[in-house]
Amino acid sequence: MMRLIIGAKWSSTWTMRGWLACRLSGLPFEAETLFLSRPDSKARLAEVSPTGLIPVLVDDGFVVTDTLAIAEYLWERAPGCDIWPQDLRARTAARMSAAEMHAHFAELRAAMPMNLVKRWPIANGIPSNAKLLGRPGVEAQVARVQRSWRDTRAAWGAGGPYLFGARFNFADAMWAPMASRFRTYSVVLAPDAQAYADAVLAHPLVAEWVAGAEAQAREIGWEACAAWP
């Protein structure tokens, strides 16, 4: 059976995406958690990841790194699964959407790290996002995220709440941590973008991951997890 090495569920965006890819593939796998903040983490990570990053998919000794590569490998193993749309052009558009998330939004991601158990409606007496959105590049990137969602849904989203209509696919999975950031930091979105973010966060697979993150935070210590970063 395939093994997926992941990080902390409540804070690791890329392992959330890797896990969603595995679930969308329909293939059997086991998830193995490697917490990155422990004394032996660096040595353990070096044993399983040639890049020093997670997630890592191990299939009969074959090691796949990078979340997009994991999704493509799973698609090749299970063509026709829910990772990508069936239509060629829709599938290409979904890959473009996923690639934009993969490659961009560095300032936004740095300003608003994912934390699935934290809520920051107020910080030091003012809305937390007032300070965070003021960081260079962040407000423009929040606008670009919403534009990307809007344009993709306008072209491909008829018939359902997701980017490509009724079927949640890996493009949606790539954006799920971003949707969670907007919820954590109380970022006000346009109504259509908010509706999409709500749909993504309500999807059964995303809800399952979030429930697992909350359970993990309770085991570690909720206050410690909620205080990060």
Q: How many helices (H) and strands (E) does the chain have?
A: 11, 4
- As a whole number of angstroms, the distance between CA 167 and CA 172 comes to 9
Whole-number Å distance between alpha carbons of 203 and 104: 24
Helices (H), 66-203: 67-77, 88-103, 106-111, 128-132, 138-156, 170-184, 191-202
Domain 2-81 has CATH 3.40.30.10: yes
Global pTM reads 0.92
Q: Which tens digit of pLDDT belongs to each residue from 11-22?
A: 999 999 999 999
Tokens of 169: 């696919």
Write down the residue that tokens 């993969």 correspond to: 102
Q: Is the pLDDT of residue 85 over 70?
A: yes
Asked if CATH classification 1.20.1050 holds for the domain at 88-207, the reply, yes or no, is yes
pLDDT at 124 over 60: no
